[in-house]
């Protein structure tokens, strides 16, 4: 019986997950994995609790939110892959270096599809002594629509992930004004499962963690175009050159973890951002939200 692994949603910054599956890293560790698609961000989490799937990947924010709503929640994270924020602010570079305070004078659209990008950005704004709630912004449009508005000159700045940055550079629609990855570690994506599933499938999840650790080593040891080749069939609408540039940018930024243990500094940064933005009421505890035994698995263990 294969382990049922459901993606969170289709995104370029999840490339190591797709490559681990596509290049047979799970199979080499002796675990059979069935990769299932998701219809929308967060769609997989309810399927964990009704046992439709065994494991997913996604933001630790979903685990933090679950524990904030229910102190007895069984959801846990382990095996971090995306350890930095993959989002950017894109717009036309001016004659002076961009500062976050400039957003007050710009027509700006934030990400609407998922909450974490804005939660993290609003925390950056607070640390720059800028009141996020006083910032005029468009909050209800998809990134694709915002990109068309940026190209048309109807928008000054948009918040987005790759491949929009590489597309904007190619189309001469905008430049990177702010890369959120530069703030440092922010726990962004890891495996999510229930504690019950972690007990039932401990050996299988440990094997998946070892496979992921080996993939992360592979990612940093090989050119970005090899990663693009491995995952290109997951992104048929993204030209190969754009996909390669997108993955190269993320690789150069150190977006993906060097080891699978969830960074405690990154966990705290995400928790503080969710708390300051009102997404959660209480600050979560690392040992409550992280499956510690699986989190410490190493490639050779």
- Cis upstream peptide for 163 (omega within 30°): yes
Does 145 have pLDDT greater than 80? yes
What average pLDDT is seen over the chain?
95
Each residue of 65-112: pLDDT tens digit?
A: 999 999 999 999 999 999 999 999 999 988 789 999 999 999 999 999
Report pTM: 0.95
Percent share of the chain, pLDDT over 70: 99
How many other β-carbons are positioned within 10 Å of the β-carbon of residue 14? 21
Q: What is the pLDDT of residue 17?
A: 98
User: Is the pLDDT confidence value at 123 over 70?
Assistant: yes
Could you check whether 3-84+185-295 and 88-180 share the same CATH topology?
Answer: yes
Task: Report which of 135, 263, 104, 294 is spatially closest to residue 199, judged by C-alpha positions.
Answer: 294
Architecture per CATH, domain 88-180, reads as 3-Layer(aba) Sandwich (3.40)
Q: Say whether pLDDT at 287 is over 70.
A: yes
Kindly report, residue by residue over 221-254, the tens digit of the pLDDT: 999 999 999 999 999 999 999 999 999 999 999 9
Q: What pLDDT sits at residue 116?
A: 97
Which pLDDT value is given to residue 296?
79
- Condensed to tens digits (0 to 9), the pLDDT of residues 175-208 reads 999 999 999 999 999 999 999 999 999 999 999 9
Q: What count of other Cβ atoms lies within 10 Å of the Cβ of residue 268?
A: 16
Residue extents of the structural domains in the chain: 3-84+185-295, 88-180
Round to whole Å and give the CA distance between 191 and 45. 11
Helices (H), the chain: 15-22, 25-28, 45-49, 60-69, 116-127, 143-152, 164-171, 195-200, 202-221, 224-231, 240-252, 264-276, 286-289, 292-295
pLDDT class of 300 with cuts at 50, 70, 90: low
Topology of the domain comprising 3-84+185-295: D-Maltodextrin-Binding Protein; domain 2 (3.40.190)
Task: Report the distance separating Cα 181 and Cα 269, nearest Å.
Answer: 12
Percent of the chain at pLDDT > 90 equals 92
The rounded distance, in Å, linking the Cα atoms of 108 and 114 is: 17
CA 252, chain centre distance (Å): 16
- 3-state DSSP call for residue 114? coil
The three-class DSSP label of residue 138 is strand
HSE (CB half, 13 Å, CA atoms) of 177?
24
Query: Do the beta carbons of residue 128 and residue 101 sit within 8 Å?
Result: yes
Question: For residue 251, how many C-alpha atoms fall within 13 Å in the half-sphere facing its CB?
Answer: 21
Q: What is the dihedral of CA 213, 44, 148, 145, to 10 degrees?
A: -160
Higher pLDDT, 40 or 178: 178
Q: How confident is the model at residue 301 (pLDDT cuts 50, 70, 90)?
A: low
């Amino acid at each position: 019986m294969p382990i049922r692994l459901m993606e969170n949603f289709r995104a370029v910054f999840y490339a190591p997950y797709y490559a681990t599956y596509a290049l047979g890293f799970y199979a080499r560790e002796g675990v059979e994995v069935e990769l299932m698609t998701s219809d929308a961000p967060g769609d997989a989490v309810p399927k964990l609790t009704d046992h439709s799937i065994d494991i997913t990947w996604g933001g630790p924010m979903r685990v933090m939110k679950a524990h904030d709503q229910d102190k007895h929640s069984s959801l846990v994270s382990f095996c971090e892959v995306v350890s930095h924020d993959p989002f950017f602010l894109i717009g036309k570079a001016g004659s002076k270096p961009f500062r976050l305070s400039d957003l007050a004078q710009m027509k700006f659209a934030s990400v609407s599809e998922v909450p974490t990008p804005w939660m993290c950005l609003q925390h950056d704004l607070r640390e720059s002594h800028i009141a996020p709630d006083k910032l005029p912004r468009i909050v209800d449009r998809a990134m694709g629509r915002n990109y068309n508005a940026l190209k048309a000159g109807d928008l000054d700045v948009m918040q987005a992930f790759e491949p929009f940055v590489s597309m904007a550079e190619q189309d001469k629609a905008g430049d990177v004004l702010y890369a959120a990855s530069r703030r440092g570690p922010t726990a962004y994506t890891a495996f999510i499962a229930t504690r019950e599933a972690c007990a039932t499938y401990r050996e299988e999840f440990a094997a998946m963690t070892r496979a992921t650790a080996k993939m992360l080593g592979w990612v940093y040891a090989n050119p970005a175009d090899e990663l693009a080749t491995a995952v290109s069939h997951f992104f048929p609408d993204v030209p190969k050159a754009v996909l390669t540039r997108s993955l190269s940018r993320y690789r150069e930024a150190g977006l993906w973890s060097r080891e699978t243990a969830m960074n405690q500094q990154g966990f705290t940064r995400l928790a503080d951002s969710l708390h300051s933005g009102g997404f959660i009421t209480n600050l979560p505890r690392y040992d409550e939200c992280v499956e510690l035994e699986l989190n410490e698995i190493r490639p050779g263990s």
